């Protein structure tokens, strides 16, 4: 019998789709939702399920940014064949995404027992939500928001890409929150920071989903819940991406900071009173 039903998978897919690219921690919200539904958050199959349905959200990015991705890949392939084309920013950017993904892959493989063990805790999620809120607020206040997407450099990509490790080790910190905060500290504007976060998340999250697929299928989650959760995640994430890009063009990240603190404090209360364990 599957540890996650199709109905629960639909709910978790919706939560994943809404929160994956908002700087509020999709992992944290998934763990909270799983806990409220009585699903064991540290079960290998559940962890695998969470990684797999992320692929639905990533698919939404691929579809939403299809033209940008084709442009970047075309420039990269052309540059591999024709040295004179390697000055193009899109060619360089493609390599930067590849290089910036290496740190999180190495840490993810090396620290997997820790990530799926002691750090897979709702107490860690609560603390990370609150601490990450402070980081995000400071980054947004300190940033001069003066650099656009065309001004990004190899250094920017490596620093922003490496910051994903924070979310990997501390579920609740938020991959989007970590990458956007780092980009803001590098003085990128909010839209550029958000788009860079999207692009850098594609290989890391896709790789995680594929890597965890064997655990999700082999230890308690059937194909039906996986398919349902992934499809719902795709649809909801597409709408979430569209909304977020419009929102950050005109607003600060303060609303997300406040929301994260509220959720973090609420989670601490639920844990402290024994409602969640």
Residues 6+ apart with CB under 8 A from 191: 148, 149, 245, 248, 249
Distance, in Å, from the CA atom of 269 to the CA atom of 251, rounded to the nearest integer, reads: 30
pLDDT tens by residue, 23-43: 998 877 888 898 888 888 777
Q: Has residue 113 been placed in a domain?
A: yes
Q: Which pLDDT belongs to residue 94?
A: 95
The pLDDT of residue 214 = 66
d(CA 162, CA 260): 22
Q: Is 13 exposed, middle or buried (0-12, 13-18, 19+ CB in 10 A)?
A: buried
Query: Which residue range(s) make up the domain with 85?
Result: 6-273
Residue 177's alpha-carbon distances to 130, 201, 254, in angstroms, are 12, 12, 12
Cβ neighbours for 46, distance < 8 A, ≥ 6 positions apart: 3, 4, 34, 39, 40, 220, 221
* Percent of the chain scoring above 70 in pLDDT: 96
Per-residue pLDDT at 109 exceeds 60: yes
Cα(55)–Cα(221) distance, integer angstroms: 16
Residue 198 near residue 240, CB atoms below 8 Å: no
Answer whether residue 1 is part of any domain: no
Tell me the percentage of the chain whose pLDDT exceeds 90: 60
> How many CA atoms lie within 13 Å of 139's alpha carbon, on the beta-carbon side?
26
pLDDT at 219: 57
d(CA 19, CA 240): 8
Tell me the pLDDT of the chain averaged across its residues. Answer: 89
User: Which residues does residue 188 pair with via DSSP β-bridges, in sequence order?
Assistant: 147
User: What tokens does 212 get?
Assistant: 């965890």
Write out the two tokens for 12: 């978790």
Asked if residue 86 belongs to a domain, the reply is yes
DSSP state of 2: -
Q: How confident is the model at residue 223 (pLDDT cuts 50, 70, 90)?
A: confident
Range scoring the smallest mean pLDDT among 112-126, 164-178, 238-252: 112-126
Enter the pTM of the model. Answer: 0.86
Look at the block and give the residue holding tokens 């250094």.
155
In 3D space, the residue among 20, 265, 267, 259 whose CA is nearest the CA of residue 136 turns out to be 259
> So what's the pLDDT on residue 208?
74
**Mean pLDDT score, 53-76:** 92
Average pLDDT over residues 65-72: 95
pLDDT average, residue stretch 204-211: 77
Mean pLDDT of 135-145: 94
Q: How many domains does the chain have?
A: 1
SS3 274: coil
């Amino acid at each position: 019998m599957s540890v996650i039903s199709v109905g629960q998978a639909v709910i978790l897919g919706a939560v994943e789709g809404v929160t994956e690219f908002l700087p509020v921690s999709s992992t944290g919200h998934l763990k909270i939702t799983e806990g409220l539904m009585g699903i064991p958050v540290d079960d290998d199959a559940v962890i695998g399920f969470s990684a797999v349905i992320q692929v639905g959200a990533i698919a939404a990015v691929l579809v939403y940014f299809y033209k940008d991705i084709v442009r970047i890949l075309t420039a990269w392939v052309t540059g591999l064949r024709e040295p004179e084309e390697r000055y193009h920013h899109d060619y360089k950017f493609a390599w930067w995404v590849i290089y910036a993904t290496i740190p999180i892959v190495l840490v993810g493989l090396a620290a997997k027992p820790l990530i799926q063990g002691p750090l897979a805790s709702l107490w860690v999620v609560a603390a990370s939500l609150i601490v990450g809120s402070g980081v995000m607020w400071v980054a947004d206040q300190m940033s001069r928001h003066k650099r656009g997407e065309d001004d990004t450099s190899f250094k920017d990509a490596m620093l922003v890409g490496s910051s994903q490790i924070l979310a990997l080790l501390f579920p609740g910190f938020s991959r989007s929150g970590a990458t956007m905060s780092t980009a803001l500290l590098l003085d990128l504007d909010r839209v550029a920071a958000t788009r860079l976060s999207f692009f850098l998340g594609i290989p890391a999250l896709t790789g995680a989903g594929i890597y965890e697929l064997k655990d999700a299928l082999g230890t308690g989650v059937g194909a039906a819940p996986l398919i349902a959760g992934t499809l719902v995640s795709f649809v909801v994430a597409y709408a979430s991406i569209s909304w977020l890009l419009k929102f950050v063009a005109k607003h600060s990240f303060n609303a997300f900071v406040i929301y994260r603190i509220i959720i973090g404090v609420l989670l601490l209360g639920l844990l402290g009173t024994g409602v969640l364990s």
